[in-house]
């Protein structure tokens, strides 16, 4: 099923009774002195069916930004973490570091999301932030860090070939 939402599309598929998200869009937002930002209406529309469940905000594993997981996606990740043998030191260390800072958040009555100060500091968030839909999650960047990473010189064609080349040339029917 495909719903048109403004200029963005939300692809919904039921997969093992779980909603599969494909969040899209890049939004310029302002962070206030308390660490709140107005959640973009484009993302609200895309998340209409799961918004009431809330979110978890956490550090990104690879970049100096934050990740906002819809609760349904966070629960999937928690399920994967729960399968790790915590009597193996590496697993215990990973789970501890991954969960460190993870915080349940909701939108307030005005449609704002409060980001915990420790996470604001981690991602060096200032007044101007970028909120980006990225598949099953949302990234929250300082505008400066986002612009810097997007200007990094990489051979995107080579990266695309390395990452996607082995998948073949699937049509939509092959993917479903």
Q: Using one digit for the tens of pLDDT, what is the confidence trace for 101-149?
A: 999 999 999 999 999 999 999 999 999 999 999 999 999 999 999 999 9
CA torsion angle for 135, 138, 142, 143 (degrees, to 10)? 50
Looking at residue 120, its pLDDT comes to: 98
Question: In angstroms, rounded to a whole number, what is the distance separating the alpha carbons of residues 84 and 71?
Answer: 20
CA torsion angle for 152, 161, 11, 78 (degrees, to 10)? -70
For residue 23, pLDDT over 60 is answered with yes
| Among the listed residues 25, 29, 1, the one whose alpha carbon sits nearest the alpha carbon of residue 15 | 1
Percent of the chain's residues with pLDDT above 90: 80
Question: What residues contact residue 74 under an 8 Å CB cut-off, 6+ apart?
Answer: 55, 56, 102
For residue 8, pLDDT over 90 is answered with no
Of residues 120 and 14, more confidence is placed in 120
131 beta partners:
27, 140
104 beta partners:
56
The pLDDT tens digits of the residues spanning 24-79 come to 999 999 999 999 999 999 999 999 999 999 999 999 999 999 999 999 999 999 99
Looking at residue 94, its pLDDT comes to: 96
Question: In angstroms, rounded to a whole number, what is the distance separating the alpha carbons of residues 118 and 116?
Answer: 6
For residue 168, pLDDT over 90 is answered with no
Q: Where are the domains of the chain?
A: 2-144
**Contact call for residues 43 and 52 (beta carbons, < 8 A):** no
Topology, domain 2-144: Chemotaxis protein chec (3.40.1550)
**Contact call for residues 36 and 108 (beta carbons, < 8 A):** yes
**Contact call for residues 62 and 77 (beta carbons, < 8 A):** no
Specify the pTM. 0.83
3-state helix, strand, coil in the chain (%, to 5): 35, 30, 35
């Amino acid at each position: 099923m495909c719903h048109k939402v403004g200029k963005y599309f939300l692809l919904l598929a039921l997969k093992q009774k779980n909603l599969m998200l494909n969040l899209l869009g890049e939004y310029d937002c302002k962070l206030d002195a308390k660490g709140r930002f107005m959640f973009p209406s484009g993302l609200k529309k895309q998340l209409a069916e799961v918004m009431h469940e809330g979110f978890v905000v956490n550090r990104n594993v690879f970049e100096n930004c934050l990740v906002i997981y819809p609760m349904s996606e966070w629960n999937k990740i928690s399920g994967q973490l729960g399968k790790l043998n915590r009597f193996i030191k590496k697993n215990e260390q990973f789970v501890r570091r991954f969960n460190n800072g993870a915080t349940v958040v909701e939108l307030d009555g005005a449609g704002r999301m409060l980001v915990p100060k420790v996470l604001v500091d981690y991602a060096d968030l200032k007044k101007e932030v970028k909120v980006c839909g990225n598949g099953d999650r949302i990234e929250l960047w300082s505008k400066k860090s986002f612009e810097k990473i997007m200007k990094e010189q990489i051979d995107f064609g080579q990266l695309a070939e390395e990452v996607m080349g082995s998948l073949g040339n699937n049509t939509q029917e092959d993917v479903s």
